[in-house]
Amino acid sequence: MAMVDVEAIVKELRGTYASGKTNKYEWRVSQLKALLKIAEHHEKEIIDALKSDLSKPEFEAFVHEISMMKTACKLALKELKRWMKPEKVRTSLTTFPSSAEIVPEPLGVVLVISAWNYPFLLSLDPVIGAIAAGNAVVLKPSEIAPATSLVIAKLLGEYMDATAIRVVEGAVPETTALLEQKWDKIFYTGNGKVGRIVMAAAAKNLTPVVLELGGKSPVVVDSNINFKVAVRRIIAGKWGCNNGQACIAPDYIVTTKENVPKLLDAMKHELEKFYGKDPLQSGDLSRIVNANHFHRLSKLLDDNKVVDKVVHGGQRDENNLKIAPTILLDVPEDSLIMKEEIFGPLLPIITVTKVEDAMQFINAREKPLAAYLFTSNKKLEKEFVMNISAGGLLINDTTLHLALSSLPFGGVGESGMGSYHGRFSFEAFSHKKAVLHRSFGGEVGARYPPYTPGKMRFLKALLNGNILGLIRALFGW
């Protein structure tokens, strides 16, 4: 298959953007409505593609991908007028008489590079923000989820304005060609290794980036809690999110030694209730995306430092790329599983002497995308919020903060930069332009040469906000 002419696509989109078409409110609305139609009219096709790529359960495909994309679309349509409206701001005596405002404007032609784990949502959620903000967009879906990539390319080709919104499918050569172009913003979802490549390419043109990365998201479990509820919520966030292949899935648990028996009992009991005695046969667990990732996860499990640490699960089926929910206890800090983001169904438990020590353990590592705490202790909760730096925090649950459009979603440090969702998506793809309006009145002679001692007194009084000094300077006292 011949490679698409990326340069020509960008040139065409630049022409469309220059015409002012994408800046119009009506155009933005028409494209958001078209995206909504895609989700509403092609649900089965999207679910089938996700099944093919990840054997994602229909429930997860609908709730986590289709429904969330529709919600984002509807919110943008409802709020767009308000988001686009210039924001009036106060002026000062220095610029009197004047008015000032902050005017959001689109950035131009933007590139969205998406991930394979939530290939529908993570492709279109940023695109919603880019369109709402009035940009022309090129979307590069992940080739690791080929069925979903194909469906997205086909549907956007049918429904969207092709002069302003394009999908470029492909692998490394296409991504490389795209990164060689000049963009007005690049939005990348994926891992830190590729994130660095994206940022290096962006630096050549001083292109701003949003990097939605991952990291080892910890779960701290205190003793004074409802274990059954806590465990169900941990399972939902870990194995109920694409079998652990999610950027905000719990990566490891930190708890006290005394807590372990209760925690483990509850986890084993609930896991069996959710996924049966043979989880490899469960239709409610996604498979590992491909053989490479299956081998990567197998390597973490076969590391001789953790082989004897598996306390639950561990079954694997290489032919069907299935790995059962697996819990490991007391893994050494220098084991492979604690050195990289797991991104799969393995969950290590680290024990500490007292629950407060968990914070030191987390802070000694890179900043995660999410951090979770289960506790009834308000003091501990407060300390956790004050002392743990992560993209987002959630107390007494996992992953749900992602669903709240009033919260920005994004990382910090190694877990990424920039954020989106709701209004934050609009802002991620906008420039806030400062505008000051003045009339021809209100001339102050003291601004201009020659700079006399009298003018100096006047300006000093003005700039220091000294009204009495101002009157004295005006009258030359």
Active site residues: 212, 247
| CA 368 – CA 370 distance, rounded (Å) | 5
Q: Which residue type does 268 have?
A: K
Residues 6+ apart with CB under 8 A from 148: 46, 49, 50, 53, 119, 120, 123, 141
Largest distance between two CA atoms of the chain: 93
Q: Which residue type does 186 have?
A: I
Burial 401-416 (b: 16+ CB within 10 A, else e): bbeebeebbbbbebbb
Please count the other Cβ atoms lying within 10 Å of the Cβ belonging to residue 40: 11
First to last CA, the chain: 84
CA 138 to chain centre: 18
| CA 312 – CA 406 distance, rounded (Å) | 38
Two tokens at 45? 């096709």
| CA 39 – CA 71 distance, rounded (Å) | 10
DSSP annotation of 395 reads E
Angle, CA of 31, 205 and 113, to the nearest 5°: 40
DSSP states along 26-84:
HHHHHHHHHHHHHHHH-HHHHHHHHHHHH---HHHIIIIIIHHHHHHHHHHHHHHHHHH
- Give the position of tokens 């669903």: 403
Angle, CA of 204, 188 and 11, to the nearest 5°: 55
Nearest Cα neighbor of 278 from 320, 311, 315 is: 315
Two tokens at 263? 């925690």
DSSP annotation of 244 reads G
CB 46 within 8 A of CB 148: yes
Residue 334's SS3 state is coil
DSSP states along 401-425:
GGG-TTS-EE--GGGEE-EESTHHH
| CA 131 – CA 32 distance, rounded (Å) | 7
